[in-house]
Structure 1
Amino acid sequence: MTQGWIKAIGMMSGTSLDGVDAALIETDGVDVRRLDHAVFVPYAPELRERMRACFGNRGATNTEHVVADDLTQVHVDAVNMLLEKSGTLAGEIGVIGFHGQTVFHEPASGLTRQIGTPDMLAYKTGIPVVADFRLADVAAGGEGAPLAPVYHAALMKSAGVELPVAVLNIGGVSNVTYIDANDELLAFDCGPGNARLDDWMLRHTGNPVDLNGATAASGNGDPMVEVKFLEDPYFDRVPPKSLDREDMAARIDGLVGDAKLNVSDGAATLANCSVAAIVAGVNHLPAAPQSWFVCGGGRHNDYVMKTLNTRLGVPVRSVDDLEWDGDAVEAECFGYLAVRHLRELPLSFPGTTGVSEPCCGGRLYIPKKAA
């Protein structure tokens, strides 16, 4: 493909299972222009539960393809909504970056599975789609995650902040990107992010989120649960390293259940565990970051943000303070990675996934005909 700037749509369906984020950017695969157009399309509760039932599947089941098609249709709807909102024609978009939905991630076994139907997305939108972003990295011995660091670094180049700096994404799993003046990226999954707290709230209140962290703020965390949680050997592993959404689930649920906590105390305890995992990650960084910038749904949890500020001892701010869209960063990232695929530029690096050398990735799906 010829060099130059390409308009790309990036899409993300995270482990929180709330819905699909879609965002429009323009990039040459190195630098990026944020266009400040993004949409969110929620999953219907019935589809969300069918997707949740796919978690932990090491291989495709007989009904998984139906779930994949249905979640892909939500992505189609999100593309159409984004095009309408931004006043952009489908023909102006060079590529869509389609992450799909992670249902199983065990890189030590050479497995990472994202479900979705990229050829259906290409067919229905008439736009080329890049998907299967993680497979090449895992096949080459990498963790397959996180993939956002190269995008975080591209955005941070023009942010004008003092280095080193950390970009923290708090989704279902939390991950950190460490950026210093030497352009050497280090990144890894810290631990459970929102996943355990979201599941706790859904189970006890019927609402799959602790809105603004109000429930956690009204409770008292159990410090012994946190201490026992940090005994998990994952926290001593030297990065790069990554987690599946369901990793540590049984352990944490058992600790909280054994402690017989009420709803608010359980929420505070789980939020504190998420924070503790992030703070423990500082031990694996070359130097303490001067500041932390947080993206993802977790930045809306005031209790988590306040506790992070206290425990890290340096400013912890939303990436929105940098005039980024903290809800759209992950989606934008996959538009950026899609263009890097077209340019044959690497998506992952030894310091971000543990792969032995910079690794290209993704697979291109050309529409069979215009939608």
Structure 2
Amino acid sequence: MSGTSLDGVDGVIAAFPSTPTQHPVTTLGSAYMPFSAPLRQELMALQSPGANEIEREALVANTLATHYAACVERLLADAGLRPDQIRAIGVHGQTIRHRPELGFTRQANNPALLAELTGIDVIADFRSRDIAAGGQGAPLVPAFHQAVFADPQQTRVVVNIGGIANISVLHSHASCDVIGFDTGPGNVLMDLWIKRHQGKDYDANGQWAASGQQSQALLDALCKEDYFAAPPPKSTGRDLFHAAWLDKHLASFPQISSADVQATLAALTANTIADAIARHAADVKTVNVCGGGAYNPYLMLQLAQGLQARGLTATVQSTEALGIAPNHVEAIAFAWLALRFDQRLPGNLPLVTGARDFRILGALYPGS
């Protein structure tokens, strides 16, 4: 999995049980491979219209496939496994456009090349069938969250804070449907801002944000974005929350320091997540965070305080408490979606994505 943070590839080898009484998933190996600066720059550039896009996307897709193949090679070596012991590779690709309102989403990827390089069956293109069925094509992870994290004794919320943040509301009552949607920016605006002012890819531990003071006036202006008030199903990405969106709002607040802007952007992420949880999961007992945001203690504190300010007493913790490391959840989710395809079972939740019905997601590229 490589997400909207555009930082690199998270890979896992996941083993799923043959009986429902076993633990829902076991991680046999993991690897992280960062993107080079030129690859990250090109992926960032492809987020917006530009010259010669078709050729540039094709070339970056080839580069990604070789990157994914190197990740697979490392995973196999570290786990002591052979390619023929792997049922399939589930690969998401790198989202460069997400426009479900126009009937498409675009992930740069070359799964045929990945199959050729690894000799392993590859399952890819998970989002397009849901969109073809009238859905958003996202978020897809709530179905996985339900399968591995749901607790019949309590309502849990799983929050993924990558570039974009999304939540899954897993009710304790089996009669209640899973709720899931993108809440808005996760790390994307904070990463953008610190890159602009300090040349860093991200705000380690939220230290820069913690050094600033939140601007309530700026936060109020940012929160007026129509997306936040829109009802689910909904999904978003860099197509909405980008540099021009932020700069448009900042133009009215020239006096705010760069550190104060960073603190306010952290508050935007935490508050929009907290608002969504308060609106859709008032009985929540635990909020379990995955993605890069789980490693940002300042952001985790802001989320806990945001929930408390809304009258919620839920415990905020990482998914490590549920047995899966925060940086492994998304990759395991797409392994699970590949498993669903392999078993010819649906991978979407229509009430989450807005699709007309359940659909089998993905396309197969045989390894031989």
C-alpha distance after superposition, 1:276-296 (max 9, x if no partner): 211221354154311200000
- Deviation at 1:36? 4.4
State how far apart, in whole Å, the 2-side matches of 1:107 and 1:272 are: 28
State how far apart, in whole Å, the 1-side matches of 2:326 and 2:344 are: 27
TM-score, structure 2 normalization: 0.92
- SS of structure 2 residue aligned to 1:63: helix
Are 1:169 and 1:175, in contact at CA under 8 Å, matched by a contact in 2? yes
Given residue 29 of structure 2, which amino acid in structure 1 is its aligned partner? H
Given residue 293 of structure 1, which amino acid in structure 2 is its aligned partner? N
Q: Which moved more, 1:229-238 or 1:277-286?
A: 277-286
User: How many residue pairs align between the two structures?
Assistant: 355
Question: 1:343 is matched with which residue?
Answer: 343
- Deviation at 1:254? 2.1
Are 1:164 and 1:287, in contact at CA under 8 Å, matched by a contact in 2? no
Question: 1:72 is matched with which residue?
Answer: 65
Q: Does 1:255 align with 2:249?
A: yes
- Deviation at 1:142? 0.4
Question: 2:280 is matched with which residue?
Answer: 285
Q: Taking every aligned residue pair, what percent have the same amino acid on both sides?
A: 35
Alignment RMSD (CA, Å): 1.8
State how far apart, in whole Å, the 2-side matches of 1:57 and 1:364 are: 30
- SS of structure 2 residue aligned to 1:136: helix
Q: 1:364 to 1:323 in 2, by over 3 A?
A: same
Q: Give the structure, 1 or 2, with the largest relative contact order (CA under 8 Å, sep 6 or more).
A: 1
- Give the gaps of 5 or more residues in structure 1: 1-11
**Mapping of residues 1-371 of structure 1, within 5 Å:** 12-27=1-16, 32-57=24-49, 61-157=54-150, 162-183=153-174, 184-249=177-242, 250-260=244-254, 261-285=256-280, 287-313=282-308, 314-367=314-367, 369=368
Given residue 43 of structure 2, which amino acid in structure 1 is its aligned partner? M
State how far apart, in whole Å, the 2-side matches of 1:324 and 1:95 are: 21
Structure 1: which 4+ aligned runs deviate by more than 6 Å?
none
Given residue 309 of structure 1, which amino acid in structure 2 is its aligned partner? A
C-alpha distance after superposition, 1:258-291 (max 9, x if no partner): 3233231111011111112112213541543112
TM-score, structure 1 normalization: 0.91
- Deviation at 1:162? 4.5
Given residue 221 of structure 1, which amino acid in structure 2 is its aligned partner? Q
Q: Which moved more, 1:54-63 or 1:140-149?
A: 54-63
- Deviation at 1:315? 1.3
State how far apart, in whole Å, the 2-side matches of 1:309 and 1:135 are: 35
State how far apart, in whole Å, the 1-side matches of 2:347 and 2:122 are: 16
Given residue 170 of structure 1, which amino acid in structure 2 is its aligned partner? I
Are 2:133 and 2:357, in contact at CA under 8 Å, matched by a contact in 1? no
State how far apart, in whole Å, the 2-side matches of 1:30 and 1:218 are: 50
State how far apart, in whole Å, the 1-side matches of 2:153 and 2:194 are: 37
- SS of structure 1 residue aligned to 2:336: helix
Given residue 25 of structure 2, which amino acid in structure 1 is its aligned partner? R
- SS of structure 1 residue aligned to 2:136: coil
Are 1:189 and 1:243, in contact at CA under 8 Å, matched by a contact in 2? yes
- SS of structure 2 residue aligned to 1:209: coil
